[in-house]
Amino acid sequence: MARPRLLSLLSRPWVRRLSGSCCPLRENRGLLRVRGPNTPAFLQGLITNDAERLGEGAVYAHLLNVQGRSLFDVILYRLPTDGQSDLLLECDIQALEPIQKHLQVYNFRKKVEVSPCPELSVWAVLPGQKQQDPPGKRLPSPVVVCSPDPRVPVMGWRIVAQADGDIAGLLPEAQLGNYEEYCKYRYQHGVPEGVKDLPPGVALPLESNLVYMNGISFSKGCYLGQELTARTHHTGVIRKRLVPVQLSSPLSPECEQSEVVTASGKAAGKYRAGVGDSGLALLRLEHLGVELQIKVGGREPVGVKASAPEWWPKPGTSS
């Protein structure tokens, strides 16, 4: 009886217009349900973004430590039938338990319950050639949430669905992708995600392009780790940023977090992670467009070509 309900999704015009690659993220992205009457106020004091923006759709944010460094990057969704007090929090699957513990530390008499959602899974629909129309207000039973990716338009759509739902089979104009394809696409467009790209307690939110990715509010009031972030933003001095890099040859996982240097050997930054010949590096902005390399023991250095993503604000425009 489940299959007819799934097939009914095909009749909805917004689904037929979602094209590109539909990539399952269930093995690498997890979900927590945060519920209770005090949920919005509770999260407001912990996330970098404004929880009230959930009324406009999904929200991207970081959870910071007291020193203002990023602990976890998350995407928040409001469940359409449950109001403001019942939310879903998407994160790196390795961060599920640490985030749960982090939230419980600050859950003082808030009547907020945090629990895993193994019955739900996340899909990414990367953009295709056709225009994507927004979904209607009512979603079919396998789909819990369908939202534009809140970070940057180039990342397409996010779908949260029942874990056993055949979402890819319901998108006639989309092709089934995989997680490696999704990561390579992210790296090519300079979009960080998860604990490898944003090492907990190491990454700084503004160097990680949190402003450019709609992940922070500077007007909502205080939250954990706000002071350093706000001060850095208002001084306007950000010398390093995460940028997409093209490598002359693929690097093994052991080379993640390797130093990036100029041709003369001067330190330029650090390679974070990648797939094949595409990756992310935290580099000094003065080295964009400069010949760079990563020295690998026992072989020729790997060339590194860094560039600014197209979705970054253009010089002279507000970020």
178 and 247 in a common domain: no
Is 4's pLDDT higher than 60? no
pLDDT exceeds cutoff 90 at 213: yes
The string of pLDDT tens digits covering residues 21-43 is 889 999 999 999 999 888 989 99
Averaged pLDDT for residues 109-123: 91
How many domains does the chain contain in total?
2
Give which of 227, 230, 241 is closest to 313, Cα–Cα. 241
At 43-72, the pLDDT tens digits run 999 999 999 998 878 999 999 999 999 999
| Same domain for 244 and 184 | no
CA distances from 37 to 55, 86, 105, 145, 226 (A): 16, 8, 18, 21, 25
Give residue-wise pLDDT tens across range 159-189: 999 988 777 666 767 788 999 999 999 999 9
- What is the C-alpha radius of gyration for the chain, rounded to an integer number of angstroms? 20
Report, as an integer, the average pLDDT of 82-100.
88
Which CATH number belongs to the domain containing residue 273 in this structure? 2.40.30.110
Stretch 95-119: mean pLDDT, rounded?
92
pLDDT at 285 over 90: yes
Residue 21: give the domain boundaries. 2-188
Q: With contact defined as beta carbons under 8 Å apart, do 9 and 15 qualify?
A: yes
Pick the last residue of a domain from 162, 188, 214.
188
The CATH code of the domain that includes 172 is: 3.30.1360.120
162 in the same domain as 270: no
Torsion of CA 136, 142, 144, 146, to 10 degrees: -50
Asked if residue 221 is part of any domain, the answer here is: no
- In whole angstroms, give the CA distance from residue 278 to residue 142: 34
| Domain presence at residue 62 | yes
Residues 177 and 246 in one domain: no
Sign of CA dihedral 119, 77, 138, 112: positive
Q: How confident is the model at residue 150 (pLDDT cuts 50, 70, 90)?
A: very high
Whether residue 169 sits in one domain with residue 84: yes
Predicted pLDDT at 137: 42
Q: Which two tokens stand for residue 101?
A: 């513990």
Q: Classify residue 244 by burial, with Cβ atoms within 10 Å: 0-12, 13-18, 19+.
A: buried
Mean pLDDT score, 182-206: 97
Establish if 182 belongs to a structural domain. Answer: yes
Task: Say what percent of the chain tops pLDDT 90.
Answer: 65
Mean pLDDT of the chain: 86
> What was the pLDDT predicted at 237?
84
93 pLDDT more than 80: yes
- Among 277, 293, 295, 23, smallest CA distance to 158 is for 23
Strand partners, 275: 278
Residues 64 and 160 in one domain: yes
| Reported pTM | 0.89
Secondary structure of residue 205 in the 3-state scheme = coil
Domain boundary pick from 155, 188, 221: 188
Token pair 């407001």: residue? 44
H helical segments located in the chain = 2-7, 13-16, 39-44, 96-105, 179-188, 194-197, 226-235
**Given this model, what pLDDT does residue 141 score?**
55
